Chains A and B, each alone.
Chain A
Amino acid sequence: MRELELYFGPQHLGMVGNFSITLKVEGDRILEAAANPGYLHRGFEKLMEYRTWIQNFPMVCRINVVEPDSMEMVYAMAVEKLAQIEVPERAHFVRSIYLELARVGSHLFGLWAYANMLGFDTVAQWAMYHRDLILDLFEELTGGRVYHIYIWPGGVRRDFPPGFKDKIVNTLHSIGACVPDYDSTFFNNRLFYERARSIGQLTQEQAKQWGATGQTLRATGMPYDVRKVEPYAAYDKVDWDVPVREDGDAYSRVWVIRDEMIESVHMIFKLLDVMPEGSVYNRIPNPFKWKIPKGQAYVRCESSRGELGLYMVSNGGDKPYRVHFRTPSYPNGLIILEKLLKNASIADVGNIMISLYVVAPEIDR
């Protein structure tokens, strides 16, 4: 049969975000795939070299559109490390709760994308609605729905408003009450099983070799989570589990995402119970005159997609000298996707890509 070159994306129904793949196909078999990022390259890392430490905050959160919060966290962590700023105890808890809420929101968004792609429109709408409830919480807490700029070097911008704790609990309960519905319509649905089982399967050895983190790795049986391996914020203050599956296919990855959401909700309840009182913010020097000592730092946190790292160099000035983000979608979208698409069928491209949880703005930066 004749070989064809097929352009998949950036304008394609099965594609989430501005990302494209060039496929070489024979019939509906893919012989070769080449990921083609860059549609969202905004040069953030370069722009950040021209802005002061604080001016960079509105920029970092825009690197990952779906989950801006862990971006803020990792940038604040790097600044704190370079400038040696302490964070109050309560702020650690507030940060953890905030990040876990963001994780649930981001996973719901991912579930929307995945369910939508498979044709489970009802589930997709539910997920979108429930994400919106979490965005309402963010709106009350920070004033913004999607981009919050809430985490700040030295703590967070403001404490929980009165009655906010109850609102978190109520919202999470009302989302949690729908888990049986989600399970019966989607996760335990035969159609989902048939459609996702053995799709985009990779072994643990391959995952390690190709630099996978997050769900992609945990779905192959390794409980690797930066929150456990190198705890930051308040993740070592409460007990929680790392959900793991063994098969390494799309089905396992989506199940890991589901289990992680539930684990996050439990973690938020536990954190709320033991949260200490106190201030949430340590004063930082005047941002207009703030110079950070010479040095370099690599910090990392677990975003909803895997290990999110930041390598930052300061040359003693009022701006960063070099910023480089290690985003989890980078190996997922540029290596693993290409490898997994080989010999797959065209109908599975969206399935593999979305189950790998690739977010294009994170790759392009």
Chain B
Amino acid sequence: MNNSLRRKLEATFKDIRIAIPEDGRITVTAENCSILAILRFLKDAGFEHLALISAVDYIEDNEFELCYILTCYMQGRDFEGKDLHIILKTRISREDPNFQTAIGIYPNAEPYEREIHELFGIKFEEHPRLTPLLLERKYEIPPFRKDFDTRKYVNDLFDNIPPVEIEEK
């Protein structure tokens, strides 16, 4: 399954790099523009389960990496071997973090993209609901970026709370 899938992927998409380590977690690195097409292709190839969308902030390269983890639900009732994972990665610029939404292909992408939007400030175009998910308030720098200074945030927030004054009777 590994090799035929690899051949098909490489024949269909030109600008991708595929690495197959021993543990069978196939890593596909691709350009921004072809991500949705690859997702559609992989879904049709049996990778029906979008397990996770994650983002990593590579601040030194001035880039974010988006990472889609896809697995198969079993076909019918038999269990296939171990080669069940695809990790699809792409880099986007940190300056203008915009990307397309994958909801059209995987409906369960919605909360993952919402979370990434909130925590990393990556905007997903045409996402129907980029409203706050987990956080309580707005931040100048989205808090999961590497340049978010947690110590400064704690000092700014908690040092400004006036002490409780106890009235003496």
Contact = CB atoms under 8 A, between A and B. Distances in A.
Our verdict on whether A and B bind, yes or no, reads yes
Interface of A: 37-38, 41, 43, 45-46, 50, 81, 208-211, 213, 217, 222-224, 228-230, 296-298, 300, 307, 309, 311, 313, 321-322, 324, 326, 330-331, 334-335, 364-365
A345 to B, nearest CB: 25
Contacts of A211: 49-51, 106, 108
Contacts of A335: 107-108, 110-111
Contacts of B14: none
Residue picked from A222, A224, A298, most chain B C-beta under 10 Å: A298
A37 B54 contact: no
21 contacts: A37-B133, A41-B134, A41-B136, A45-B144, A209-B108, A210-B107, A211-B49, A211-B106, A213-B49, A217-B73, A222-B74, A229-B74, A230-B84, A307-B51, A309-B51, A309-B52, A311-B52, A322-B57, A331-B108, A334-B110, A364-B134
A300 B51 contact: yes
Given A211-B49, A296-B87, 14 more contacts: A37-B133, A38-B133, A46-B144, A208-B49, A208-B73, A210-B107, A210-B108, A211-B106, A224-B74, A309-B52, A324-B52, A326-B69, A330-B112, A335-B107
Interface of B: 23, 25, 48-52, 54, 56-57, 67, 69, 73-74, 77, 79, 82, 84-85, 87, 106-108, 110-112, 132-136, 143-144, 150
A263 to B, nearest CB: 17
Contacts of A311: 52, 54, 67, 69
B51 A230 contact: no
A359 to B, nearest CB: 15
B47 to A, nearest CB: 12
A228 B79 contact: yes
Given A37-B134, A41-B134, A224 B69 contact: no
A360 B107 CA distance: 21
Contacts of B74: 222-224, 229
B49 A298 contact: no
A174 to B, nearest CB: 35
B87 A38 contact: no
A46 to B, nearest CB: 6
B69 A309 contact: yes
B142 to A, nearest CB: 11
Give the interface centre of B48, B82, B133, B136 by most chain A CB atoms within 10 Å: B133
Given A335-B111, A364-B134, A223 B52 contact: no
Nearest to A333: B111
A323 to B, nearest CB: 9
A209 B43 CA distance: 11
A311 B144 CA distance: 15
A330 B56 CA distance: 19
A45 to B, nearest CB: 7
A300 B52 CA distance: 11
A228 B73 CA distance: 12
Contacts of A309: 51-52, 69
A128 B20 CA distance: 47
B78 to A, nearest CB: 10
B56 A321 contact: yes
B161 to A, nearest CB: 19
A313 B25 CA distance: 14
Nearest to B114: A334
Contact of A313 (B48, B56, B136): B56
A246 B150 CA distance: 48
A311 B82 CA distance: 18
A210 B144 CA distance: 26
A224 B73 contact: yes
B143 to A, nearest CB: 6
A356 B112 CA distance: 19
Contact of A298 (B25, B56, B73): B25
Given A210-B107, A224-B73, A311-B69, A298 B135 contact: no
Contacts of B25: 297-298
Nearest to A297: B25
